[in-house]
Amino acid sequence: MRPSRLEELKSSNLVALPEKTNGSLARFMRAGLILCLIASISLALCSAFSPKSHWFPILALNRTRTTIFAADSGEPPTNLSHILFGLGSSVAMWRDRSTLAETWWDPDTTRGYVWLDANPELVSDVSGHIPHRVSGNWTRFKYSHSQSEVRIGRIVVDSFNLRLPNVRWFVMGDDDTVFFPENLATVLARYDHNKMYYIGGNSESVEQDVMHAYDMAFGGGGFAISYPLAARLAELMDGCLDRYYNMYGSDQRVWACVSETGVPLTKLSGFHQFDIRGDPYGVLAAHPLAPLLSLHHIDALEPIFPNKKRLDAVKSLVHAYRVDPPRILQQSICYDRSRNWTVSISWGYTLQLFPAMVSALELKTPWQTFKTWRSQTDGPFTFNTRRMSSNPCEKPITYFLEYVKDDRRGNTLTTYKRFVGHEEKCNSTDYASAMATQRIVVLSKKMDPQYWTKEQAPRRQCSEIKNRAGLRGGTMLIRMKRCRLSESITI
């Protein structure tokens, strides 16, 4: 016969009973013990299914968290000091592109290196304050396209092997990638750096994604590797370079190696590979509701500000970004119903004034001011686009950032000046009236630096025209604000 539960407990020394007891006492003690066991099991089950239970943590329900994970881990939230940048370049290219990287690199807060193909003493004529390192142990690998892609593919391993303290994320990019580090740090704080993550974005041109992969982080737009994944890649990468020697780019090699770990790509829309040709205005004027993280291929595109050189145009955008990082390029829409006007703001960059009522659905869809990267055709792209009307009266009056001011009290003031280009003439009186607006001033409170890590779903901010009665000196005044719960952007 199977021994009783009481005998099992006695034999396991968990319960000690006197050797000699009378029958009544033994029965009483057995009954008491059974009641205790039933009460203990009931308590365990109740506490296990209690959301505040600490009795049996192994049974406690595991709630999914979308906020900064460090709040529960006891670690401080991820900030810019926890990110190590690794830029891929060469001595020949860095002489020309170092000035572009210096537009966004802050030597006081940014950690990382540009990885070159020559010894430090050979690049003493390279100006700038971005430290450099020399890639090692890369010429022994075979390749089918370019040996430099092998070297750049190993940057994540070279960076990991430095064993620098307090590094949670390794961010890779090209020498012509413009990063927005504060936004990047805020976004990475959403994720547990103690787990394996591969975070980035793909190409805007479908032809590029078909040629390479939809689930690959394109290196020009930049991608982030968490510390545990970097540690695993350090063990695998050399073998991967041998196995995937026939691949085209460095990012494709990294993607192939990450695939062997079983880690998928976590896509973020703020990375911009910019596999497009022509004018990026359409994308930047209708940026998705996401923080701006990077811009690539600046040298291959028209200047983002007209009538400015490429480098000066990037400096203007970065300057506005530093004033209010999470708000840069965020779109807001408002209407002047008395004049039948629509205004679309891309904060820190441009403003469009339509002498007509245009829906938010239409305005949030980028104008196709660009073509595909490889074939230079009208698409397809990985996002919706709309064609610019050939009717000059249906085109907006455009304004570009002229001035940005921080009042040191949590408020910003940006001024946008009307752009006078090769405009086609519109004979509409409504259009002529709108053209009299020479400047538009936008007032706003700074966005919460942690806005993009909050649990609530993001929402476009609202705005309102303050001087509807009359434009003094041809200047319109607009205030951006948080939308009320019941407020909508409705014509």
User: Top-level CATH class of 70-267?
Assistant: alpha beta
Q: What are phi and psi of 99, to 5 degrees?
A: -65, -30
Residue given tokens 């971005």 in the structure block: 130
pLDDT of residue 11: 45
- Asked if 66 contacts 190 with a C-beta cutoff of 8 angstroms, the reply is yes
- Asked if 85 contacts 171 with a C-beta cutoff of 8 angstroms, the reply is yes
Q: For residue 171, how far is the Cα from the chain centroid?
A: 12
Q: What is residue 205's DSSP assignment?
A: B
Q: What is the DSSP string of 151-185?
A: HHHTHHHHHHTT--TT--EEEEEETT-EE-HHHHH
Nearest to 32 by CA among 1, 48, 9: 9
User: How close are the terminal C-alpha atoms of the chain, in Å?
Assistant: 83
Cα(489)–Cα(335) distance, integer angstroms: 8
pLDDT of residue 427: 87
pLDDT values of the chain reduced to their tens digit, one per residue, 491 residues:
444 444 444 444 434 444 444 454 445 445 555 555 555 545 444 444 443 333 223 223 333 333 455 545 678 999 999 999 999 999 889 988 999 999 999 999 999 999 999 875 655 555 568 999 999 888 888 888 788 889 999 999 999 999 999 999 999 999 999 999 999 999 999 999 999 999 999 999 999 999 999 999 999 999 999 999 999 999 999 999 999 999 989 999 999 999 999 999 999 999 999 999 999 999 999 999 999 999 999 999 999 999 899 999 999 999 999 999 999 999 999 999 989 999 999 999 999 999 999 999 999 999 999 999 999 999 999 999 999 888 999 999 999 999 999 988 899 999 999 999 877 788 888 898 899 999 999 999 999 988 998 767 789 999 999 886 667 778 999 999 999 888 888 87
Q: Convert 365-398 into a string of H (helix), E (strand) and C (coil).
A: CCECCEEECCCCCCCCECCCCECCCCCHHHCCEE
Q: For residue 97, how far is the Cα from the chain centroid?
A: 23
What residue type is 398 in one-letter code? T
| Crossing angle between the packed helical segments 310-323 and 91-101, to the nearest 10 degrees | 50
What residue type is 60 in one-letter code? A
Nearest to 478 by CA among 437, 439, 438, 442: 442
Cα(297)–Cα(174) distance, integer angstroms: 9
Cα(103)–Cα(251) distance, integer angstroms: 24
Contacts of 365 (CB under 8 A, 6+ apart): 286, 384, 385, 386
Cα(203)–Cα(267) distance, integer angstroms: 11
Query: Cβ-count burial of 206 within 10 angstroms (0-12 exposed, 13-18 middle, 19+ buried)?
Result: middle
pTM of the model: 0.84
Cα(470)–Cα(241) distance, integer angstroms: 66
352-387 tens-digit pLDDT: 999 999 999 999 999 999 999 999 999 999 999 999
What residue type is 198 in one-letter code? Y
What does the block give as tokens for 158?
């070279």
CB pairs under 8 A, 24+ apart, for 342-346?
343/440, 343/463, 343/465, 343/476, 343/478, 344/285, 344/286, 344/396, 345/442, 345/463, 345/478, 345/480, 346/284, 346/285, 346/286, 346/287
Parse the chain into domains and list their residue ranges. Answer: 21-63, 70-267, 323-481
Q: What is residue 424's DSSP assignment?
A: P
Distances (CA, A) of 36 to 6, 7, 48, 54: 12, 16, 18, 21
Q: What are phi and psi of 195, to 5 degrees?
A: -110, 165
Whether the ω angle into residue 380 lies within 30 degrees of 0, i.e. cis, is: yes
- Asked if 85 contacts 112 with a C-beta cutoff of 8 angstroms, the reply is yes
What does the block give as tokens for 484?
């009320």
Cα(341)–Cα(336) distance, integer angstroms: 5
Query: Cβ-count burial of 245 within 10 angstroms (0-12 exposed, 13-18 middle, 19+ buried)?
Result: middle
Alpha helices in 267-309 (DSSP H): 281-285
What does the block give as tokens for 364?
């949030």
Tell me the chain's radius of gyration from C-alpha atoms.
30
pLDDT of residue 491: 78
